[in-house]
């Protein structure tokens, strides 16, 4: 699945307040709860599974990108959120650089191929410097949504 298929405008946080990866994960899961994409009663279980995955190895992949993700049995479809930090977040990234763009996504348990394909699509898209720059310069969530909805060149 692509970024535009899993991240709706109401799932975008254009100005993350988080200062570390754990706060960023909490903030993005909170956005998914407040937008109705995931149920409030599932919040704790989802947070636990994402943080467990993140503890095994940081999903800060370099270039200012973090892609926390996990599989869970409490959702029926792939869902995601995108956050942007103007100041940068300590994500314990592979290149030790702060993260400015965080894409959190969840995949239903047992959909391993979909999980891998979604991760690969998001990582490939975010490795494009022009794409990242346009997200960094977008005015608000609507502008970010418009950028991620444009077909890849």
**In this structure, what CATH number is given to the domain that contains residue 109?**
3.40.930.10
Mean pLDDT across the chain, nearest whole number? 94
Q: How many domains does the chain divide into?
A: 1
pTM of the model: 0.94
Q: How confident is the model at residue 150 (pLDDT cuts 50, 70, 90)?
A: confident
pLDDT at 1: 85
119 vs 24: CA distance, rounded Å: 18
Say if residue 153's pLDDT is above 80. Answer: no
Interatomic CA distance for residues 62 and 44, integer angstroms: 28
Residue 2 three-state SS: coil
The residues carrying an active-site annotation are 69
**How far is Cα 42 from Cα 151, in angstroms, rounded to an integer?**
33
Query: Could you tell me the residue range of the domain that residue 43 belongs to?
Result: 3-149
Report the pLDDT value the prediction gives residue 75, as an integer from 0 to 100.
Answer: 95
């Amino acid at each position: 699945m692509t970024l535009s298929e899993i991240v709706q405008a109401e799932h975008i946080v254009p100005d993350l307040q988080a200062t570390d990866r754990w706060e960023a994960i909490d903030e993005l899961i909170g956005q998914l709860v407040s937008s109705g994409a995931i149920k409030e009663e599932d919040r704790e279980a989802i947070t636990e599974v994402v943080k467990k995955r993140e503890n095994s190895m940081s999903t800060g992949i370099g270039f200012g990108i973090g892609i926390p993700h996990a599989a869970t049995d409490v959702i029926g479809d792939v869902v995601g959120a995108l956050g942007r930090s103007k100041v940068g977040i300590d994500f314990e990234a592979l290149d030790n650089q702060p993260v400015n763009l965080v894409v959190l996504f969840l995949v239903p348990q047992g959909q391993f191929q979909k999980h891998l394909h979604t991760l690969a699509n998001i990582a490939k898209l975010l490795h494009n410097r022009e794409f990242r720059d346009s997200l960094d310069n977008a005015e608000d969530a609507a502008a970010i949504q418009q950028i991620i909805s444009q077909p890849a060149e």
